[in-house]
Each structure stands twice: as structure tokens, then as C-alpha cells.
């Protein structure tokens, strides 16, 4: 197996590692350390905090697992049951379980007697979470590996009251916590893997809570391939005089042999990253041609949203694994579809398709991850995923990473590419860029020491073979002929990868890229085979409602995620070739969405079909849909408004957000009705119990007073209610007070409260009109909540690098 450029032998480390650990690394087959291990382990084991930055696949995991074990073994403190000595935090569940695997293996091989425990979220219910925590208390682990949210539950106690948001923020003031399941008071060492991601705002609340319960006297290590943020941010993790270990990769490929100049790069030396500028509706053909021309390989394909992963997963399963899904029309239809596809894609070997994103249930996530990891080298497989699988995952033998969409966070780019070319193996990565403004991404990344080369646009010959050259008569995208549409490359862009520092003459020559052409997507040289493929995808969508709907949702989510690109000046929504993007998702009609307003969409060829007639392949689902549709149509006959609604629903068939909203509203209405009914029943019961006729009369006229009496918050009113209900005698100072006096006092109090409320909100309402005010305030609050909800209701399934903790 190829290994990264290796340093000294493990035995050369000073201070030396204990024998058990040396034996363990030797059993793993690692004779020498990688540079990052050689730089980190001595500092970390000599009680320095460390901040480590090294390219992906360079062996950072062992660079912290080894010191964690060494520090614990060296420590004089004896850990009691329920005390933990080390905590390792990672941003995703998959990465946490991978680290746990390495740690567990090292413990087994070294013979060290420490109990590790994997602490990740993903439980479906509160009870199973409670069970997990109870089991963990029983186990009494010494080392915890986990994700921030669940580790917070374990070390700080589970939040009983107060709600935790996805980012871990407590929304109710204070929040009440349960008993911690483990104590970190005698913790020796803390590790934050993918520290830059963990220190992002998303995990801040959980991380702060964890750091607050850790002792100050501890070793802390921060590890990542992209530690670009300022030190002040790192200090938030409580580091003291950290040693910075930075492992640079030297790029000799572009070096001029006479000058011996070597440039630096942030990605492994064995990784080749290519970019391909092409209209978005050509991506599918390009990916398939790439697969066909490379032979059986393991691919990871990144999308920007969960919805896009779901859609392409279903589509590719239908196209590449025909047995996996039924085709309407039975075997003859399947045969016809196969024949049609064979014209456009001919691999000649089986290809398995997998998907992974953060909105999948944990079990499925684990199963997919396991299946793709277990796929042996030489077998073809594609993993479609979001950024949830971008960091840290050490999936064996990945040959190529394809970024269907560039990541919204540019930092993810290197992490995504780094799933291949690990530990000295060679690998390739390809990113698609849309024509328009995205070409500038090449220079943007070059400045960040991620050099890219121009990728090949692949064509398909008449015989189905894949070639680099366009069929006769077609002008190639890299054609150097002058073209009216081409724009001269701006001065500032030329050779900008060299503009980092130093004299231009001393630098490595820039990677020679062909001149980029600013073809509008619509005028790209025609590729009829690629168009045929998209036509086929549209036919599939027209025959399968599941694919049709998922395509629409995926497109909407893609457009919305596009607006979230951090490098907004490169990913300009206005320059996104929207028609080609919609075709790329196999859309039959363009959805009505605000983002398309004002865009010229007349060029989009609508598919001639009444979308109501597209069936689900699942018989039961289709039956339910047909019944629902019939009911809606019948209702539409009855009322004009319902007809209008049906029309609108039809226009919005691309999104089930509306349906979900309606269901949520119905559920809320039911909840409110139940609550009101219960309150009314309580009131009626109380009124029935009151035997003082004058009081009963009064309360019937003043429901708010009745409510106040029932709530028991006002002591004199509560007493009065009890007396009136005959449960207490009228005695003592309160009893002596007349009913009228107490009630008048309560009203006076209410008036005063209303007056103070009105003065604090500087409203002009009459303080006496407190009931109307209360109503208005309630309405105002409701409206506010509604606006807030509106702003956040539609969740098209954005990229989800972060761990869903709850
Ligand atoms: N000393 C070594 N010799 C040879 N191979 C090693 C050595 N240390 C680690 N490896 C191997 O290198 C691969 C990558 O290691 P690891 O997952 O720790 O990388 P990483 O730097 O954490 O990557 P990322 O930044 O993507 O998380 C693993 O398969 C691991 O087994």
C-alpha cells in the first residue's frame, strides 16, 4: 500500500512512548510516523497544548489518539467510576464512530485498560436517550468520543426544561438540567477534531457548556485540515500557549527543475483536482461518461442539499440498478428503457448506488456508510452525499470525488476532495462550475493553495465510445478561436495564483489553464447525446410521481442554497443559468418560486403533460393520492375559493411544504381546542362548586375573574373561592373581608397592571380597557410568532454538515 511521505520510526520519539502503544502501531502495520504525527506527538505528550493543521488523509487521528493514551497512562490520577480522563469531540456522528474505532483498536492492541465510550446523537425518542445515558452511567467509561450535543448531555446533564435548538442554544431562560452522567473534573486531555468546524457558531453553545465543566489544568489539542481562523477563535477553546504544528505539502509538479522552486498546497500531493465549466444540464452526462471511461471505481458525489441527494439517488438507482425499482409498464417497458439508456451509457459492470445525508435516520446512515466503506477496490460504487460526509471520513479506496455543486462554505472544498488520495494513495477530484460568474472560483481556490487543472469535457461518439474530442462540426468549449461571446480574461485574474507573496519570478509557474470562455450556457456547443439523456430523465419523471416530485423539491432547494454561498461574488444568483439548471433536474415545468421572478424563462420547453396524471409507482400511495385528488376536485366544484386553491395547489405541486404547513396548522388548532375545552371544563366545575349565589353571578359576568380565582395565583381570591365552594369557613382577617372588597381589590390590581403595561409600551390605550388591551397584545404576539414561523417554515433540506443533535 502506498503511504504518505513518512518520517522517523515510532521508536525514535522522545520522550519515548510506552511499549504497549509501540506494539499497537506496529500491529497496525505503521512502521514510521507521518509528518503530522512526528510534529504533534512529542509536543502533546510533553504537556503542551497543540493546534495542528495538516492536509486531509495525513494521519491526524493517530496524532491525537496516541498522545491521549500516553497521557492517560502516564497520569498519576486514578479515575473513579463515573470520572472521565479524556474527551474527543467531532462534528459528525460518522466521524465520531470512526475515531472511536481507531481508539478501540489501539486500546485492544496496546493492552491498556481504559474503557472508551461512543456518545453520539440520533436516538429516535427521549426514552431511548435516557436509556443510553443510564447504560453509560453503569459502564463508567474513561474516554468519551462523541458529538457536541450528546457530550453536553453527558457531561453537563440533560436539559429537562428549556428547549435546545439544532445549534444547541437554550431557548427558554436558563433551562433546567438533569444529573450529569459522567464527571469531567479530573479530565487530563481534550481533543477537538475538525476544530474549525466545531468552533463555528453552530456548535458554540454546546461547546461552551462542555468547556465550562472541564478543569483548567488539562491538555487541549485542536486538529483540522483547514485551521484558517484567527487564534482568538481558537483561544475560545481554552488553549494556553499552544504549539502550532503546520504540515505543508510541497507541489513539485509545476516546479521549474532549474530553479528548483516548489509551491505549497493545502491538499495532498497525490491528489489532482480538475474543474469543468459546463452548463448544468450536461453534468449528468459528464458524470456518466466519466464513469464509463474510467472503469469500475469508487466515487463520492457531493450535492449542496439533502433533497438533491434524495432525488439523484432515486434517479440513478432507476437508471443504473434496474432491478432495484419497478418500471411502469412492466418488463417490456423496462427493456425499452434499458435499450434507450444503453445508447447513452454503457459501463458493462454493475454499479451500486448509495446515499448519505443528515436528514436520514441514524440507522440508515450507518448502514449506507458501512456498505459503501465495505465495497472492495475494483468494484464500482457511487456514494451521493452532502457535506455531512465531507470531513474526516476515512473511506477506503475512494478513487474519485465529484462535486456536482461547489460547497456553500469554501472550506469544505478541500475536505470533500480529501476523501480520496488518502495516506499516499493517488486520487482525483472534479468540480463542476456553471458558465457565468463561477469560473472565477478557480483563481479563488488557487489563492487558497488549492491548485486546479482544466478538466476534460467528454463526448460520446456514435458508437457509444467516450472521447475527448467533439464530433465533427461541433465547436469545442476549449476552442481557442475568437468568439463574439468570449470575454477577455480580466487583468486581475491572470496568474492570480501567484499573487500570494514574494517576487513573481521566483514563484512556480502557474498551472497552465486553457483560456476560459464565457459562453452563455444556452450557446454552449450542442451535445445531442447529453440532451437525449435529459429527455430520458424527463420521461422517467413523467412516469414516476416520486421522481417527478423529488426533482422539483431538489431544484427549489438547490436554487435556495445557491443564495447561501459564502463566496457570493462568485456564485451570483443572477448569472446562474436557471433554464439549464432546471433541465438538469429533469423538471417538466418550471415551479413558481420568487427566485425565478424577473428571469427570462420562455426558453424552457415545458413537457406536455397534465402533472395530475403522473402516478406513484407504489400502488397504495397512488390509491391514496387519487382519492385525495378526487375529493379536492369535488370540493373545488362546490366553492370558488376551493377552485382557486386547487389551481394554486397544482401550481405548487413541486413542493409539499404547503401540505405540511396545513397539517401543522390543523394539529395546532386541535391542540388549542383541546386546551380551551379543558380550561372551560375546569371553569365550569369550579362555578358549579361555588354555592354563594352573589359570587356565582359575579363570576358569570366576569370570566377573567373566574379564571384568576381558578388559577389560585392571587391568594385572597383563592381563599375566597375556597370559602365560596364551602371548603373553608369564613374566618380570620381574610374571611372577615367582604366578598365585594376582595374582588374590588383584585380588579384594582388588574387595572394597575394594565396601566403599567400600557405606559411601558407607550401605548395610548385606556388603562381601564384592560381586557381589550390584553386581547390586542395577544394578537400582536401571535402575529409576531406567525411572521417568525413563516420565515423559517420551508426547509427544503439544505446541506447539513453539522450534526443534528436532537
Ligand atoms: N504512520 C502511518 N503510516 C501509514 N499510514 C498511516 C499512518 N498513520 C495513519 N495512517 C493511515 O492514513 C489514513 C488517513 O488517516 P486519518 O484518517 O487519520 O487522516 P486525517 O489527517 O485525519 O484526515 P482528515 O483531515 O480527512 O480527517 C488512514 O487510513 C490511516 O490508517
**Mean pLDDT of the region 332-343:** 82
The three state secondary structure string of 105-131 is: HHHHHHCCCCCEEEECCCCCCHHHHHH
Residue minimizing CA distance to atom 7 of ligand 1: 59
Q: State the distance from the centre of ligand 1 to the C-alpha of 39, rounded, in angstroms.
A: 14
Could you tell me where the beta strands, DSSP code E, fall in 641-712?
none
Q: Decide: helix, strand or coil at residue 392.
A: coil
Per-residue pLDDT tens over the stretch 4-31 = 567 889 999 988 999 999 999 999 999 9
The confidence score (pLDDT) of residue 6 equals 75
Nearest residue to 419 via CA among 444, 382, 455: 382
Average pLDDT, the chain: 80
Evaluate the omega torsion of the peptide bond into residue 713 and state whether it is cis, within 30 degrees of 0: no
Q: Which residue has the higher pLDDT, 133 or 21?
A: 21
Separation of 486 CA from ligand 1 center, angstroms? Answer: 44
- Per the DSSP assignment, residues forming a β-bridge with 51 are 222, 244
Kindly report which listed range (119-123, 341-345, 386-390) carries the lowest average pLDDT score.
Answer: 119-123
Place of cell 457548556: 209
Q: DSSP label at 470?
A: P
pLDDT at position 48 is 92
Residue appearing with cell numbers 457558531: 201
- Greater model confidence, 766 or 347: 347
Instruction: Give rounded-to-5 percent helix, strand, coil for the chain.
Output: 50, 10, 40
313, 355 contact by CB (below 8 A): yes
d(CA 723, CA 731): 9
Atom of ligand 1 minimally distant from the CA of 419: 26
Query: Which three-class secondary structure string do you get for 567-614?
Result: CCCCCCHHHCCHHHHHHHCCCCCCCCCHHHCCCCCCCCCCCCCCHHHC
Q: How confident is the model at residue 162 (pLDDT cuts 50, 70, 90)?
A: low
- The answer for residues whose C-beta is within 8 angstroms of residue 206's C-beta and 6 or more apart is 148, 149, 151, 152, 168, 805
- Of the candidates 297, 277, 514, the residue with the CA atom closest to the CA atom of residue 406: 277
pLDDT score recorded for residue 603:
87
Question: Ligand 1 center to residue 68 CA distance, Å?
Answer: 16
Pocket test for ligand 1, best of 394, 396, 397 (most atoms within 8 A of CB): 394
In this predicted structure, the answer to whether residue 554 has a pLDDT above a threshold of 90 is: yes
Q: Is 584 exposed, middle or buried (0-12, 13-18, 19+ CB in 10 A)?
A: buried
Distance between CA 445 and CA 411 in Å, rounded?
10
C-alpha cell at 431: 468540480
Closest residue CA from atom 13 of ligand 1: 423
Q: Looking only at Cα atoms, what is the longest distance across the chain?
A: 109
**Residue 100's pLDDT band (boundaries 50, 70, 90)?**
very high
Residue 292 near residue 340, CB atoms below 8 Å: no
Residue 321 has pLDDT above 90, yes or no: no
Pocket test for ligand 1, best of 25, 53, 59 (most atoms within 8 A of CB): 59
Going from the Cα of 356 to the center of ligand 1, the distance in angstroms, rounded, reads 22
Which of the pair, 715 or 729, is modelled with greater confidence? 715
Higher pLDDT, 476 or 713: 713
Residue whose CA is at the smallest distance from ligand 1 atom 8: 59
Confidence band for 173, pLDDT divided at 50, 70 and 90? very low
Strands 298-302, 380-385: pairing is parallel
* pLDDT confidence band for 599 (50 / 70 / 90): confident
Say yes or no to pLDDT of 138 above 70. yes
If you ran DSSP here, which 8-state letter would residue 389 be given? G
Average pLDDT for 147-159:
88
**Interval between CA 518 and ligand 1 midpoint (Å):** 40
Residues in the chain, total: 806
Considering only CA atoms, which of 451, 569, 474 is closest in space to residue 529? 474
Look-up of cell digits 482568538: 232
- What pLDDT digit, counting tens, does each position of 741-790 carry? 767 777 777 777 777 766 554 433 334 455 666 677 677 777 766 655 54
Q: Are 90 and 394 in contact (CB under 8 A)?
A: no
Alpha-carbon span 420 to 239, nearest angstrom: 32
User: Could you tell me the fold of the domain covering 270-471+525-613?
Assistant: Rossmann fold (3.40.50)
Average pLDDT on 63-70 reads 96
Say if residues 226 and 53 touch (Cβ distance below 8 Å): yes
Separation between Cα atoms, residue 60 and residue 224, nearest integer Å: 8
What confidence score (pLDDT) does residue 499 get? Answer: 33
pLDDT of 478 reads 45
Task: Give the separation between CA 560 and CA 799, rounded to whole angstroms.
Answer: 11
Contacts of 136 (CB under 8 A, 6+ apart): 117, 119, 154, 181, 182
Residue nearest to atom 27 of ligand 1 (CA): 392
Among residues 257, 247, 800, which one has the least CA distance to residue 557?
800
pLDDT of 631 strictly over 50: yes
The CATH 3.40.50.300 portion of the chain extends over 36-247, 270-471+525-613
Give the pairing type, strands 453-454 and 116-119.
unpaired
- Cell digits of residue 570: 462568485
Average of pLDDT values for 335-356?
A: 87
Residue range 709-719: mean pLDDT, rounded:
66
Nearest CA to ligand 1 atom 1: 33
Among 334-348, 447-461, 548-562, 620-634, name the one with the lowest average pLDDT.
Answer: 334-348
CA Rg, the chain, in Å? 32
The order of strands in the sheet holding 219-224 is 116-119, 143-146, 86-89, 189-193, 219-224, 50-54, 243-247
Q: 217-226, 244-253, 653-662 — which is least confidently predicted?
A: 653-662
Neighbours of 744 (CB within 10 A): 11
- Distance from residue 104's CA to the centre of ligand 1 (Å): 16
In angstroms, rounded to a whole number, what is the distance separating the alpha carbons of residues 587 and 574?
A: 20
Per residue, the 3-state secondary structure of 713-774, as one string, reads CCHHHHHHHHHHCCCCCCCHHHHHCCHHHHHHHHHHHHHHHHHHHHHHCCCCCCCCCHHHHH
Q: What percent of the chain has pLDDT over 70?
A: 73
- Mean pLDDT computed over 705-727: 66
Residue 459, phi then psi, degrees to nearest 5: -115, 160
pLDDT for 699 equals: 73
Separation of CA 37 and ligand 1 centre (Å): 10
Cα dihedral across residues 139, 140, 143, 149: positive or negative? positive
Q: State the cell numbers at 181.
A: 452522567
* Cα of 63 from ligand 1 centre, angstroms: 9
Extended strands (E) in 254-385:
263-265, 271-277, 298-302, 351-356, 380-385
Least Cα distance to 513 among 737, 276, 220, 755 occurs for: 276
Which ligand 1 atom lies nearest to the CA of residue 10?
1
| pLDDT-based confidence at residue 241 (cuts at 50, 70, 90) | confident
Taking the C-alpha atoms of residue 638 and residue 634, their distance in angstroms, rounded to an integer, is 7
Q: What are the cell numbers at 249?
A: 505539502
Partners of 305 in the beta sheet?
798
| 183-207 residue pLDDT tens | 999 999 999 999 888 877 678 888 8
pLDDT at 248: 78
Mutate to test the pocket of ligand 1, among 3, 57, 97 (most ligand atoms within 8 A of CB): 57
Give the pairing of strands 263-265 and 249-251. Answer: antiparallel
- Residues whose beta carbon lies within 6 Å of some atom of ligand 1: 3, 30, 33-34, 37, 54, 56-62, 225, 392, 394, 418, 422-423
d(CA 237, CA 208) in angstroms, rounded, equals 8
Q: Does 672 or 107 have the greater pLDDT score?
A: 107
For residue 526, give the C-alpha cell: 450542442
Give the tens place of pLDDT for each residue, 385-421. Answer: 999 999 999 999 999 999 999 999 999 999 999 999 9
Ligand 1: residue whose CA is nearest its atom 6: 59
Distance 58 CA to ligand 1 centre (A): 5
ipTM reported for the complex, 2 dp = 0.98
Q: Does residue 797 surpass a pLDDT of 70?
A: no
In ligand 1, the atom with minimum distance to the C-alpha of 32 is: 1
Reported as a pLDDT band with limits 50, 70 and 90, residue 517 is very low
Chain centroid, CA 465 distance in Å: 38
**Residue identifier of the C-alpha nearest atom 22 of ligand 1:** 60
Indicate whether 801 pLDDT > 70: no
Would you state the cell numbers that stand for residue 50, as one nine-digit string?
A: 497543540
Ligand 1 atom with minimal separation from the 98 CA: 17
Whether residue 791 has pLDDT greater than 70:
no
Distance 103 CA to ligand 1 centre (A): 13
Residue nearest to atom 25 of ligand 1 (CA): 56
With a CB cutoff of 8 Å and minimum separation 6, the contacts of 767 are 751, 754, 755, 758
The CATH classification number of 36-247 equals 3.40.50.300
pLDDT at 261: 47
Cell numbers 507521518: residue: 34
Amino acid at each position: 500500500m502506498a503511504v504518505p511521505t513518512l518520517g522517523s520510526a515510532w521508536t525514535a520519539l522522545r520522550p519515548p512512548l510506552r511499549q504497549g502503544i509501540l506494539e499497537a502501531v506496529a500491529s497496525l502495520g505503521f512502521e514510521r510516523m507521518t509528518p503530522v504525527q512526528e510534529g504533534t506527538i512529542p509536543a502533546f505528550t510533553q504537556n503542551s497544548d497543540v493546534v495542528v493543521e495538516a492536509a486531509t488523509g495525513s494521519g491526524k487521528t493517530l496524532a491525537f489518539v496516541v498522545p491521549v493514551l500516553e497521557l492517560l497512562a502516564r497520569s498519576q490520577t486514578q479515575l473513579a467510576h463515573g470520572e472521565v480522563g479524556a474527551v474527543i469531540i467531532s462534528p459528525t456522528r460518522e466521524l465520531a464512530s470512526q475515531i472511536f474505532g481507531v481508539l478501540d483498536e489501539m486500546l485492544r492492541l496496546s493492552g491498556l485498560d481504559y474503557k472508551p465510550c461512543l456518545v453520539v446523537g440520533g436516538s429516535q425518542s427521549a426514552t431511548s436517550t435516557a436509556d443510553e445515558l443510564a447504560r453509560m452511567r453503569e459502564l463508567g467509561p474513561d474516554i468519551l468520543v462523541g458529538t457536541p450535543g450528546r457530550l453536553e448531555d453527558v457531561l453537563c446533564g440533560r436539559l429537562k426544561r428549556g428547549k435546545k435548538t439544532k445549534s444547541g442554544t437554550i431557548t427558554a431562560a436558563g433551562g433546567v438540567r438533569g444529573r450529569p452522567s459522567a464527571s469531567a473534573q479530573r479530565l487530563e486531555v481534550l481533543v477537538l477534531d475538525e476544530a474549525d468546524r466545531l468552533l463555528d457558531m453552530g456548535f458554540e453553545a454546546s461547546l461552551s457548556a462542555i468547556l465550562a465543566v472541564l478543569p483548567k489544568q488539562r491538555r487541549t489539542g485542536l486538529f483540522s485540515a483547514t485551521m484558517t481562523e484567527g487564534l482568538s477563535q481558537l483561544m475560545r477553546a481554552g488553549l494556553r500557549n499552544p504549539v502550532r504544528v503546520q504540515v505543508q505539502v510541497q507541489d513539485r509538479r509545476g516546479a521549474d527543475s532549474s530553479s528548483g522552486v516548489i509551491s505549497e498546497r493545502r491538499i495532498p500531493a497525490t491528489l489532482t483536482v480538475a474543474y469543468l465549466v459546463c452548463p448544468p444540464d450536461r453534468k449528468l452526462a459528464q458524470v456518466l461518461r466519466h464513469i464509463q471511461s474510467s472503469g469500475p471505481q469508487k466515487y463520492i458525489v457531493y450535492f449542496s442539499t439533502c433533497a438533491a441527494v434524495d432525488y439523484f439517488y432515486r434517479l440513478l438507482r432507476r437508471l443504473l440498478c434496474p432491478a432495484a425499482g419497478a418500471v411502469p409498464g412492466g418488463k417490456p417497458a423496462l427493456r425499452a428503457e434499458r435499450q434507450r439508456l444503453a445508447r447513452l451509457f454503457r459501463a458493462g459492470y454493475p454499479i451500486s448506488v448509495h446515499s448519505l445525508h443528515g436528514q436520514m435516520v441514524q440507522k440508515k446512515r450507518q448502514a449506507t456508510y458501512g456498505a459503501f466503506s465495505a465495497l472492495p477496490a475494483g468494484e464500482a460504487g457511487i456514494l451521493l452525499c452532502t457535506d455531512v460526509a465531507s470531513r474526516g471520513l476515512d473511506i477506503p479506496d475512494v478513487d474519485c470525488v465529484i462535486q456536482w455543486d461547489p460547497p456553500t462554505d469554501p472550506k469544505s472544498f478541500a475536505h470533500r476532495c480529501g476523501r480520496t488520495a488518502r495516506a499516499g494513495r493517488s486520487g482525483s477530484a472534479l468540480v463542476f462550475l456553471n458558465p457565468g460568474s463561477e469560473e472565477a472560483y478557480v483563481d479563488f481556490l488557487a489563492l487558497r493553495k488549492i491548485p486546479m487543472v482544466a478538466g476534460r469535457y467528454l463526448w460520446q461518439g456514435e458508437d457509444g465510445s467516450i472521447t475527448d474530442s467533439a464530433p465533427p462540426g461541433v465547436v469545442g468549449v476549449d476552442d481557442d478561436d475568437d468568439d463574439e461571446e468570449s470575454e477577455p480574461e480580466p487583468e486581475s485574474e491572470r496568474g492570480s495564483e501567484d499573487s500570494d507573496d514574494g517576487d513573481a519570478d521566483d514563484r512556480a509557474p502557474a498551472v497552465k489553464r486553457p483560456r476560459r470562455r464565457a459562453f452563455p450556457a444556452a450557446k454552449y456547443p450542442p451535445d445531442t447525446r447529453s440532451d437525449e439523456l435529459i429527455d430520458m430523465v424527463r420521461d422517467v419523471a413523467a412516469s414516476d410521481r416520486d421522481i417527478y416530485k423529488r426533482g422539483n423539491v431538489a431544484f427549489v432547494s438547490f436554487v435556495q442554497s445557491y443564495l447561501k454561498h459564502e463566496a457570493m461574488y462568485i456564485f451570483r444568483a443572477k448569472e446562474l443559468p436557471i433554464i439549464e439548471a432546471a433541465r438538469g433536474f429533469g423538471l417538466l415545468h418550471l415551479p413558481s418560486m420568487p427566485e425565478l421572478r424577473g428571469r427570462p424563462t420562455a426558453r424552457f420547453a415545458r413537457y406536455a403533460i397534465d402533472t395530475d396524471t403522473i402516478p406513484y409507482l407504489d400502488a397504495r400511495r397512488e390509491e391514496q393520492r387519487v382519492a385525495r385528488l378526487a375529493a379536492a376536485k369535488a370540493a373545488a366544484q362546490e366553492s370558488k375559493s376551493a377552485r382557486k386553491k386547487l389551481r394554486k395547489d397544482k401550481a405548487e405541486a413541486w413542493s409539499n411544504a404547503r401540505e405540511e404547513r396545513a397539517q401543522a396548522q390543523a394539529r395546532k388548532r386541535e391542540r388549542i381546542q383541546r386546551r380551551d375545552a379543558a380550561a372551560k371544563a375546569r371553569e365550569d366545575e369550579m362555578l358549579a362548586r361555588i354555592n354563594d349565589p352573589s359570587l356565582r353571578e359575579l363570576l358569570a359576568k366576569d370570566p377573567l375573574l373566574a379564571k384568576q380565582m381558578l388559577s389560585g395565583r392571587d391568594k385572597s381570591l383563592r381563599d375566597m373561592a375556597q370559602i365560596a365552594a364551602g371548603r373553608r369557613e369564613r374566618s380570620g382577617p381574610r374571611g372577615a373581608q367582604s366578598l365585594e372588597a376582595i374582588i374590588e381589590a383584585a380588579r384594582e390590581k388588574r387595572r394597575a397592571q394594565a396601566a403599567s403595561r400600557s405606559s411601558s409600551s407607550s401605548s395610548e390605550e385606556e388603562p381601564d380597557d384592560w381586557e381589550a388591551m390584553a386581547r390586542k397584545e395577544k394578537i400582536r404576539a401571535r402575529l409576531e410568532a406567525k411572521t417568525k414561523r413563516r420565515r423559517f417554515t420551508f426547509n427544503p433540506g439544505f446541506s447539513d454538515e453539522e450534526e443534528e443533535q436532537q
